[in-house]
Structure 1
Amino acid sequence: MTQDTTADTSTRPPTPFHDLDAFLEVGRLSGLVLSGDGTRLVTAAQSLGPERTGYVSALWEVDPTGEQPARRLTRSAKGESSPAFSAGGDLLFTSARPDPEGKPDDDARAALWCLPSGGEARVVATAPGGIGGLLTASDADVVSVTAPVLPSAADLAEDGELRTARKDLSVDAIWHTGYPVRHWDHDLGPDADRRFATSVAAAEGGHAELRQLTGAGRQLDEAGAALSPDGATLVTVWTVDDPGAARRGTLVAIDTRTGERRTLVDDPDAEVASPVVSPDGRWVAYVTETVTSPTDPPVVRAAVVALDGTGEPEVLADDWDRWPTSLTWLPGSSGLLITADDDGRGPVFLLTFDAGPGTGPVTVEQVTADAATFTDVCVAPDGSAAYALRTSYAAPSEPVRVDLAAFVASGPAGEREPVPAVVLPSPVVAPELPGVLTEVETTAPDGARVRAWLALPAGASASDPAPLLLWIHGGPLGSWNAWSWRWNPWIMVARGYAVLLPDPALSTGYGQEFVRRGWGAWGDKPFTDLLAITDAAESRDDVDETRTAAMGGSFGGYMANWVAGHTDRFRAVVTHASLWALDQFGPTTDHAYYWAREMTPEMAREHSPHRYVGQIRTPMLVIHGDKDYRVPIGEGLRLWRELLADSGLPAADDGSTVHRLLYFPTENHWVLSPQHAKVWYAGVLAFLAEHVLDVPEGEGDRVLPTTLG
């Protein structure tokens, strides 16, 4: 919830996690941008809409000095997002809010808006399919955006005519000439993003004309991009087709005046992502990820290439055994701030060039001391401080300042001590937790160290131990290192559970070998790691080893299915958006070529949970959304039918069963709408209550302050 000093708190629950309606009302931050002069920070804060069926985003200003409270900048029913500062200091954003100088349009798409300091917001540019991908140049009045355009349209005007014709004739057919055809929860096409350029000044007295830089094609799907400081060059990921209906990201530079395109990086053995141009305009830093094979997991590194195309790309810190997740240039182009998963956290690291970019040796040092993960890093123009959103399982995202000057002054390179971040006044009040967060670690059978976060109820003790919920993360290349609204353990903690959040083999932040341990063999080391860390948690006197459950989503759902077929130590298993029959999943997932790179048919057959359905003797709750294209609904439907027909705990002759299916016809890989999220949590808690807390059958929802409805 946003700041409100007048709100009545007399009827509120002990914490927002004790009541699902209160949980939905907690405000959520995303994104952080800094003005060119370093005096203004802007973030987006989401709040529950008046009808409680969706979230609305507004832009808020945060004081970089930490002296003033956060100040709301925008307000509309449609919301505002994707803030960016122009070279002149104006705040740009995208929104589908009504244009005060235009005609009312209930179907309006997102437009580009400008909010001058001390002025009223006005529309800069529009496109028939909406505008996104906002980029600004730091030193020139150049703006670039993306807009989806139908393939046969030569320009935005023709695109508008074609869209009107399709709508009037109720045509939604899509003609495909390549792969893929779906992504996450939506069909690809018939339109595709193109890049455009314009300026704020061009909108004086009307809407600015968008100058088209790229043509038809799917090369810009999910493409990271950046503008050079002078605005003359757009650097963007450019997706190319590879054999086997595969795709791969390359890096190109596009002249923003002529649209001329030249290739900077095209490595047949690696993907390119997240380009950023140096402040001196000479270099592009980016993330490179090797193309995988069934025997080789990805290797993720930072790299640089000259913007003028001279010289070869150079991988940075190849001996640093961490995977970069974001890159931010220091002023003067003397180094990079890098975020990377690390031991259940995501610190900020400083990479400095010993003799300048493209010259060889570099030094990497950890900057932040917090047990937290940092995102959206931006740097003050004098390099004295960095700003970011900080998150962990102890708190959701909040704006912070990192004292880079103090870090640099603490000693010579390689000997400096990490510094704690300073929290800035936020638009969102951090929720009080219903318990405490600690860590657990153990040694796996092969000698590897395995660690986890453990969220415990405040009253858990040897005399009153808490039932244990093993919650397995998705990915599988990921880590339980950042707050999640979708997978929030504190709701379970508020009901008395101890929640174990482990990072088994394949998790990021523990080095390349830790990923390799589980590569192509999901049912091996990831499974034994999970059992080992569960044993360690159960050995605590504040945990009740006789009352346990396991759950997970996506890859975590796969592991939940695997757990169910390989042990009966848990009283209940919850599996969300889960992989069940790997031979079926592989060709039907939205990007099948990724899967084909990782597993051979033999590997998939050996590690497919469906082969062990006869060994499942644990009640299971199956959850799936029909719009899930990453793990198609067929996985959930087949799992459900085979549980009832072929498991070791089948349906009775009269059709009754201890298993349950929670189906969402309009949700995707995640359950995103607020009221469906409420149903999801309530359903999971009811199922667990019945089997773990011994609530009578069918009465699990009675332990909740709110019912399934």
Structure 2
Amino acid sequence: MTTQSELSPFSTLDDYIALPRVEGLALSPDGRRVVLTVATLSRDRTSYDRALWSAAADGSGVPTRLTRSAKGESGVAFTGSGDILFVSGRPDADAEKDTEAAQLWLLPAGGGEARAVTRLAGGVSGIAATAARSDTIVIAANLLVSAADLEADATARGLRKDKKVAAILHESYPVRYWDEDLGPAEPHLFSLDLSALEDVLAATAPDAAGSDKRADAPAPYPADLPRPRDLTPGPGRSGDTAGQALTPDGRTLIAALRAQEQRSGRAVLVSIDLETGVQTVLFDEEHVDFAAPAVSHDGSRLAFVRAEDSTPDGPADQELWVADIDGGRPRRVAVGWDRWASSLVFDADDRSLIVTADHDGRGPVFRVPLDGSAVQQVTTDQFSYTDVAVDAATGDLVALRSSWLAPSHPVRIGRSGEVTVLATPTTPPPAPGRVTEIETRAEDGARVRAWLLLPDGASAEHPAPLLLWIHGGPLNSWNAWSWRWSPLLAVARGYAVLLPDPALSTGYGLEFIARGWDAWGAKPYTDLLAITDAAEARADIDGTKTAAMGGSFGGYMANWIAGHTDRFRAIVSHASVWALDQFNGTTDSSHYWQQISSAQGMIDNSPHHSVRDIVTPMLVIHGDNDYRVPIGESLRLWSELAEHHAEPDGSTRHKFLYFPDENHWVLKPQHAVVWYETVFAFLDQHVHGAAWKRPELLG
């Protein structure tokens, strides 16, 4: 008989990477339809193509594909008139010369072909904000430091391209972010009045804009397009925002702009008048970030997150605040509710905030009343919710939700919390095995919980080997589907996968986070061992066959575990922190890690001090384009493993999988296949005693 695992696409890596995936959702102004961003594997299987699909927001009908292009589409949003906006690098038939950069495109609500509405030399980074009752929008785009306007930017870019110059001169910190080299351009916010789009179509030639006819004059910005207006013309990276929102009339932008501080910065909440460009500071405090602004439907109020800087003494809370749109009468709401908002919007009646937050291994939707009454949990299922939008007419919500058994899919949430699944062009894959929840008590009495995914057939007669999979962050929770970190791939191969939330995890309150603060190797480590003990005590788990793995902070914990216990048969350490003193000065955001770590904490909690005590075989994995945890961490780990544990002939049972062109996650589908093939071959070798099988594509 064919088992569920054999039928599942998780049994074959090639089938898994070919699964289509929903990545984004936007709700139309009338609340009648959603537009989904759907990614599918490219023909050569080395990337993902993205297209837009439309579906009814009430759950009826079947989805309709809206776009199709070789370059794909992303960043979907609606104008106040119901036109669809997106960002794409598709060719612009109206341009004299293709910029090869992604531009803003508009698909008319009444039907017809999409058309480009920008032609910026450096392209458009994304849609920053749209207005509910206006066709004025705000986009994000980069300009070279020396460029005084759009024409100068195009000229300077052309010169660098012609001379093949890639050098970047930095005059402030930071210089890198995740996998991106910052500069030589800097981020800006631009307003764009799309209501003028039809009028400017009447222009018959570039000369209509009164362009400079000198031979050496830069080419003017196209007169047949609305000209973007720079809202953040100041120098530096002030356009690196922590969120922004437009008032419904499209006249005012509320933005959390970056204010530079030596090698760090804080987010300052400002109001920008789109007609005059005048900026007014609403909230600015030293050592405080103001982020995630949202504007009420009537345009009279704003909501935001206020977060003081954390220090080595402990984590700071992330507070919800509301104020008048001009910053007057500010007050905190949800006082005493120590969950951290991952998104917030105003409810349809503007009397509450609709908030998502990590909570007990899930990511529910909450309603936060502005009158000071108790926070209400709207959804009570096993899912985590993102991309939440409010239907202003009915008060219902639409969102994406996911769990460890179901990838992101669109749903409608009624006022009382009932959930209706919407039509989607992607068919949810059948998940192998089953999921349960386990918990234990740590040595200090704290409750520690985890998801446990069990393979089909796991029982007392046939106990499954256990894979402890540690989350990154460290401020994170195992509560939502991940296409990159898929425990179901291990479940389909017979492993039980333990997904714990130890100290430092979000969704359990500030005190739970504080248990591991500036002490990563203390309670986070003992919590992991305690919950592993609880899993191994089950009759359907083979406690003699356990392995551990993790990435980023999870990789740090894998390294710490390797130097402090021999209970695991194999350890996989991906994109890991090895030496805290080295990491804290070379990561892309060194100021943050140094402000939350004491000098003694970095000494006491650095895994590299225990390299001599490692006895468990380790698979080390890293991508060279990882700037959050630089490659030097794994290079040093590999060097010190060889120094202390290699045989006289240089051979070693440890392995190092290196990706020269990948980042923190390893995202190219063909490389994801190699990643999993190597991990499973390594686990099978040391957990099951199988012969080592080198993945074919590794030569």
Q: 1:372 aligns with which of 383, 391, 395?
A: 383
Counterpart check, 1:393 vs 2:412? no
Give 1:238 deviation, angstroms.
0.9
What secondary structure does 1:332 align onto?
A: coil
| Aligned residue type for 2:685 | E
Aligned pairs for 1:149-160 (under 5 A) are: 149-160=143-154
Query: What does residue 237 of structure 1 align with?
Result: 256
Aligned pairs for 1:381-420 (under 5 A) are: 381-404=392-415, 407=416, 419-420=417-418
Q: 2:244 aligns with which of 195, 206, 225?
A: 225
The answer as to whether partners of 2:241 and 2:267 remain within 8 angstroms in 1 is no
Counterpart check, 1:193 vs 2:187? yes
Aligned pairs for 1:532-611 (under 5 A) are: 532-611=530-609
Give 1:40 deviation, angstroms.
1.6
Query: What does residue 293 of structure 2 align with?
Result: 275
The answer as to whether partners of 2:347 and 2:395 remain within 8 angstroms in 1 is no
The answer as to whether partners of 2:189 and 2:230 remain within 8 angstroms in 1 is yes
| Aligned residue type for 2:190 | F
What secondary structure does 1:337 align onto?
A: strand
Aligned equivalents of 1:556, 1:300: Cα separation in 2: 24
What secondary structure does 2:410 align onto?
A: strand
| Aligned residue type for 1:162 | A
Superposed CA deviations along residues 430-489 of structure 1, whole A, max 9, x for unmatched, are 111111011110001110000000111011111111100000000000000000111100
The answer as to whether partners of 1:345 and 1:482 remain within 8 angstroms in 2 is yes
Q: 2:342 aligns with which of 325, 346, 370?
A: 325
**Unpaired segments of 5 or more residues in structure 2?**
202-223
The answer as to whether partners of 1:316 and 1:362 remain within 8 angstroms in 2 is no
Aligned equivalents of 1:699, 1:331: Cα separation in 2: 57
Farther off after superposition, 64-73 or 546-555: 64-73
Aligned equivalents of 1:424, 1:622: Cα separation in 2: 42
Q: 1:143 aligns with which of 126, 131, 137?
A: 137
The answer as to whether partners of 2:618 and 2:655 remain within 8 angstroms in 1 is yes
What secondary structure does 1:198 align onto?
A: strand
Q: Kindly tell me: are residues 139 and 253 of structure 1, through their superposed partners in 2, closer, same or farther at Cα, counting changes over 3 Å?
A: same
Query: What does residue 689 of structure 1 align with?
Result: 684
Query: What does residue 508 of structure 2 align with?
Result: 510
Query: What does residue 215 of structure 2 align with?
Result: none
Query: What does residue 156 of structure 2 align with?
Result: 162
Aligned equivalents of 1:226, 1:132: Cα separation in 2: 16
Give 1:171 deviation, angstroms.
1.4
| Aligned residue type for 2:351 | S
Give 1:707 deviation, angstroms.
6.7
| Aligned residue type for 1:447 | G
Query: What does residue 414 of structure 1 align with?
Result: none
Aligned equivalents of 1:571, 1:353: Cα separation in 2: 53
Query: What does residue 465 of structure 2 align with?
Result: 467
Aligned equivalents of 2:99, 2:9: Cα separation in 1: 34
The answer as to whether partners of 1:112 and 1:126 remain within 8 angstroms in 2 is no
| Aligned residue type for 2:255 | T
Q: 2:362 aligns with which of 345, 349, 362?
A: 345
Superposed CA deviations along residues 82-111 of structure 1, whole A, max 9, x for unmatched, are 111111111111111111323463833333
What secondary structure does 1:393 align onto?
A: coil
Aligned equivalents of 1:383, 1:285: Cα separation in 2: 22
Superposed CA deviations along residues 625-672 of structure 1, whole A, max 9, x for unmatched, are 1111101111000000101112xxx11111111000000001111101
Give 1:19 deviation, angstroms.
0.5
The answer as to whether partners of 2:30 and 2:393 remain within 8 angstroms in 1 is no
Give 1:573 deviation, angstroms.
0.3
Give 1:190 deviation, angstroms.
0.9
Aligned equivalents of 2:676, 2:359: Cα separation in 1: 29
Q: 1:256 aligns with which of 259, 274, 288?
A: 274
Q: Kindly tell me: are residues 532 and 420 of structure 1, through their superposed partners in 2, closer, same or farther at Cα, counting changes over 3 Å?
A: farther
Aligned equivalents of 1:682, 1:90: Cα separation in 2: 44
Give 1:321 deviation, angstroms.
2.0
Query: What does residue 312 of structure 2 align with?
Result: 294
Counterpart check, 1:172 vs 2:166? yes
Aligned equivalents of 2:614, 2:119: Cα separation in 1: 55
Aligned equivalents of 1:54, 1:491: Cα separation in 2: 20
Aligned equivalents of 2:172, 2:101: Cα separation in 1: 30
Query: What does residue 207 of structure 2 align with?
Result: none
Aligned equivalents of 2:279, 2:61: Cα separation in 1: 45
Aligned equivalents of 1:621, 1:240: Cα separation in 2: 41
Q: Kindly tell me: are residues 123 and 196 of structure 1, through their superposed partners in 2, closer, same or farther at Cα, counting changes over 3 Å?
A: same
Superposed CA deviations along residues 170-193 of structure 1, whole A, max 9, x for unmatched, are 111211121111100111111011
Query: What does residue 209 of structure 2 align with?
Result: none
The answer as to whether partners of 1:471 and 1:499 remain within 8 angstroms in 2 is yes
Superposed CA deviations along residues 35-94 of structure 1, whole A, max 9, x for unmatched, are 111112111000001111101111111211111111111111111111111111111111
Aligned equivalents of 2:423, 2:316: Cα separation in 1: 39
Query: What does residue 662 of structure 2 align with?
Result: 667
Counterpart check, 1:127 vs 2:120? yes
Q: CA RMSD in A?
A: 1.6
Counterpart check, 1:75 vs 2:68? yes
Aligned equivalents of 1:597, 1:299: Cα separation in 2: 16
Aligned equivalents of 1:491, 1:104: Cα separation in 2: 46
Give 1:113 deviation, angstroms.
2.9
The answer as to whether partners of 1:213 and 1:258 remain within 8 angstroms in 2 is no
| Aligned residue type for 1:611 | H
Superposed CA deviations along residues 355-395 of structure 1, whole A, max 9, x for unmatched, are xxxxxx24310001211100011111224311100111111
Give 1:32 deviation, angstroms.
1.3
Give 1:345 deviation, angstroms.
0.1
Query: What does residue 353 of structure 2 align with?
Result: 336
What secondary structure does 1:618 align onto?
A: coil
Give 1:225 deviation, angstroms.
1.0
Give 1:708 deviation, angstroms.
5.2
| Aligned residue type for 1:671 | V
| Aligned residue type for 2:454 | L
The answer as to whether partners of 2:273 and 2:279 remain within 8 angstroms in 1 is yes
Give 1:139 deviation, angstroms.
0.8
Give 1:126 deviation, angstroms.
2.2
- Segments ≥4 residues shifted beyond 4 Å: 706-709
Give 1:13 deviation, angstroms.
5.6
Give 1:330 deviation, angstroms.
1.4
The answer as to whether partners of 1:551 and 1:560 remain within 8 angstroms in 2 is yes
The answer as to whether partners of 1:682 and 1:707 remain within 8 angstroms in 2 is no
Superposed CA deviations along residues 392-448 of structure 1, whole A, max 9, x for unmatched, are 1111100011111xx1xxxxxxxxxxx342211112111111110111100011100
Aligned equivalents of 1:353, 1:634: Cα separation in 2: 48
Aligned equivalents of 1:97, 1:345: Cα separation in 2: 38
Query: What does residue 204 of structure 2 align with?
Result: none
What secondary structure does 2:437 align onto?
A: strand
Aligned equivalents of 2:393, 2:56: Cα separation in 1: 17
The answer as to whether partners of 1:471 and 1:502 remain within 8 angstroms in 2 is yes
Superposed CA deviations along residues 522-574 of structure 1, whole A, max 9, x for unmatched, are 00000000000000000111110011100000000000000000000000000
Q: Kindly tell me: are residues 106 and 150 of structure 1, through their superposed partners in 2, closer, same or farther at Cα, counting changes over 3 Å?
A: closer
Paired residues in the alignment total: 670
| Aligned residue type for 1:663 | Y
Aligned equivalents of 1:664, 1:679: Cα separation in 2: 10
Query: What does residue 315 of structure 1 align with?
Result: 332
Q: TM-score, with normalisation over the residues of structure 2?
A: 0.94
